[in-house]
């Protein structure tokens, strides 16, 4: 097995085009990591990094944990890429949702040349979001106690006048995000693909050294962890990764039959194909939506309760903290809801049915038109339930490990949640991209078996 994998990697560098694409991708990813290390002038990143290290074992899905995940430690260092690629992702998600509900955007997406226009709108929206978030972050760094909580022994802002600092920091943060966006697009066009996803992935992988150090300290310094716990963690990691791979690739294949037809002077014979419906159609989006919403009630209720001396608000805020049963139930329910919400906005069974009918295709045993649309809706609803339950289990694992087993969050985050879903999904897609080049040159690829067929 290992020899086969090593031989496959060696074959990657035997193809000149693939070799250049891999080296180009590695170079740009190195630049991304450099942008996450170089600090913004006039800020003491060391003070903020010390605070993050103190909070790392306490909170995983908080605002700090979420941004730390997607910036790859850039925010902790007050680096030029402290905003990360999140504004671009947020702009893309906003446009995807608007495309599903705004007729003019939906029409533009279907027209020839419409997709590049929507991508351009996403870039403009990214700049706007960067300017707004950059200014908020610059102001927040002036009083970090109010933004992050806790106490800071040193000031983060070291330069005057304050408005010059705000303008400089906002522009630098915006430039950093636009640089990451451009590098991601270059990787997609001239590298091995999945540019923006690889930028996020390299940020998550950058946390591996801290996770290994926390795991080592956990077993060396705390007597309650022993060899049995270590073996259990290894088995759990293998099971989670195997489950994520299986469900990520699982799909239900809907058979499609195309009738023989004549277009002009050309005749097209009938053929059989299939329509793949992914079990985990929504990917990691439901978890991100649920985390983004649930990170605010605790903060807001705590501030109001302390400011106006309202014990009731403080008690309710306690229910919205990780590890509390109410939080876990609400978190799981929101993941289920957003799984169906994402499928409802992105999977258009009416358009699929119309496209099949226009091209002479039909599902055996199902009448074209409305019956096909109803069949696809029913099938997608059933497999979405399985995917949503899977996402809920994966999302809850690191929270339970952190709150119940006292496993540091840097370690627990690699056993579930957004980290493992993004890592597995992006790596599988990247392997498929590389495998395409290998198969074109008659080399064996990484993936030996086909996708799993979901039966729901």
For residue 171, the model assigns a pLDDT of 95
Residue predicted with more confidence, 96 or 149: 96
Q: Which of 25-29, 109-113, 245-249 has the lowest mean pLDDT?
A: 109-113
Contact 60, 417 (CB under 8 A): yes
Residue predicted with more confidence, 407 or 241: 241
**Residues 113, 249 share a domain:** no
408 has pLDDT over 60: yes
Band (90; pLDDT cuts 50, 70, 90): confident
> Last residue of a domain, which of 164, 190, 206?
206
Domain hosting 309: range is 230-259+273-456
For residue 453, the model assigns a pLDDT of 45
Provide the domain count of the chain: 2
**Residues 199, 281 share a domain:** no
pTM: 0.82
User: Mean pLDDT across the chain, nearest whole number?
Assistant: 82
124 has pLDDT over 50: yes
**Residues 162, 240 share a domain:** no
Give a yes or no: residue 243 inside a domain.
yes
Give a yes or no: residue 217 inside a domain.
no
Band (150; pLDDT cuts 50, 70, 90): low
Give a yes or no: residue 213 inside a domain.
no
Give a yes or no: residue 2 inside a domain.
yes
Give a yes or no: residue 218 inside a domain.
no
15 has pLDDT over 60: yes
For residue 187, the model assigns a pLDDT of 92
**Residues 373, 319 share a domain:** yes
Band (270; pLDDT cuts 50, 70, 90): low
**Residues 190, 284 share a domain:** no
64 has pLDDT over 70: no
Band (60; pLDDT cuts 50, 70, 90): very low
Specify the CATH number for the domain of residue 436.
Answer: 1.10.3370.10
**Residues 78, 20 share a domain:** yes
Q: Mean per-residue pLDDT for 373-396? A: 92
Give a yes or no: residue 220 inside a domain.
no
For residue 450, the model assigns a pLDDT of 44
**Residues 150, 31 share a domain:** yes
Give a yes or no: residue 224 inside a domain.
no
Q: Mean per-residue pLDDT for 309-320? A: 86
Band (86; pLDDT cuts 50, 70, 90): confident
pLDDT in tens, 322-337: 778 898 999 999 999 9
Give a yes or no: residue 265 inside a domain.
no
**Residues 144, 28 share a domain:** yes
pLDDT in tens, 179-234: 999 999 999 999 888 888 899 889 888 888 877 887 777 777 766 666 777 788 88
**Residues 120, 3 share a domain:** yes
Report d(CA 129, CA 83) in Å as an integer: 10
**Residues 135, 283 share a domain:** no
**Residues 234, 133 share a domain:** no
For residue 132, the model assigns a pLDDT of 93
**Residues 132, 247 share a domain:** no
């Amino acid at each position: 097995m290992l020899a086969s994998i090593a031989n496959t990697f060696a074959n990657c560098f035997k193809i000149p085009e693939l070799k250049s694409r891999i080296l180009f991708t590695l170079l740009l990813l190195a630049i991304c990591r450099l942008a996450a290390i170089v600090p913004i002038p006039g800020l003491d990143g060391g003070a903020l990094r010390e605070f993050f290290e103190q909070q790392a074992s306490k909170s995983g899905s908080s605002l700090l944990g979420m941004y730390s995940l997607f910036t790859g430690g850039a925010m902790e260092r007050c680096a030029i890429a402290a905003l990360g690629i999140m504004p671009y992702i947020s702009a893309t998600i906003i446009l995807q949702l608007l495309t599903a509900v705004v007729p003019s955007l939906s029409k533009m997406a279907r027209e020839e040349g419409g997709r590049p226009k929507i991508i351009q709108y996403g870039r403009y929206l990214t700049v706007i979001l960067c300017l707004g978030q950059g200014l908020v972050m610059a102001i927040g760094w002036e009083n970090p106690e109010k933004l992050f909580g806790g106490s800071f022994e040193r000031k983060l802002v070291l330069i005057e006048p304050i408005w010059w600092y705000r303008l400089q920091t906002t522009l630098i943060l915006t430039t950093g995000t636009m640089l990451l966006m451009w590098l991601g697009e270059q990787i997609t066009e001239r590298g091995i693909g999945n540019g923006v996803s690889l930028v996020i992935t390299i940020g998550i992988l950058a946390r591996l050294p801290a996770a290994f150090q926390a795991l080592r300290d956990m077993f060396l310094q705390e007597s309650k962890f022993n060899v049995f716990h270590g073996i259990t963690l290894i088995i759990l990691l293998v099971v989670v990764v195997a489950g994520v791979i299986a469900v990520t690739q699982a799909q239900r294949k809907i058979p499609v039959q195309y009738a023989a037809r004549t277009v002009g002077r050309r005749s097209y014979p009938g053929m059989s194909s299939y329509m793949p419906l992914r079990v985990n159609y929504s990917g990691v989006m439901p978890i991100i939506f649920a985390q983004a919403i649930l990170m605010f009630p605790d903060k807001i209720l705590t501030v109001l309760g302390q400011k106006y001396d309202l014990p009731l608000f403080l008690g309710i805020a306690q229910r919205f903290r990780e590890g509390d049963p109410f939080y876990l139930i609400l978190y799981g329910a929101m993941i289920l809801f957003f799984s169906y919400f994402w499928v409802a906005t992105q999977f258009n069974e009416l358009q699929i049915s119309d496209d099949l009918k226009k091209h002479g295709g039909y599902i055996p045993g199902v009448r074209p038109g409305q019956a096909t649309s109803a069949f696809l809706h029913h099938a997608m609803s059933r497999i979405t339930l399985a995917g949503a339950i899977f996402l809920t289990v994966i999302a809850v694992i690191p929270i339970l490990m952190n709150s119940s087993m006292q496993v540091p969050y840097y370690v627990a985050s690699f056993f579930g949640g957004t980290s493992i879903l993004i890592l597995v999904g992006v790596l599988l897609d990247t392997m498929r991209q590389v495998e395409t080049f290998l198969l074109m040159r008659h080399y064996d690829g990484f993936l030996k078996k086909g996708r799993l067929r979901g039966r729901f």
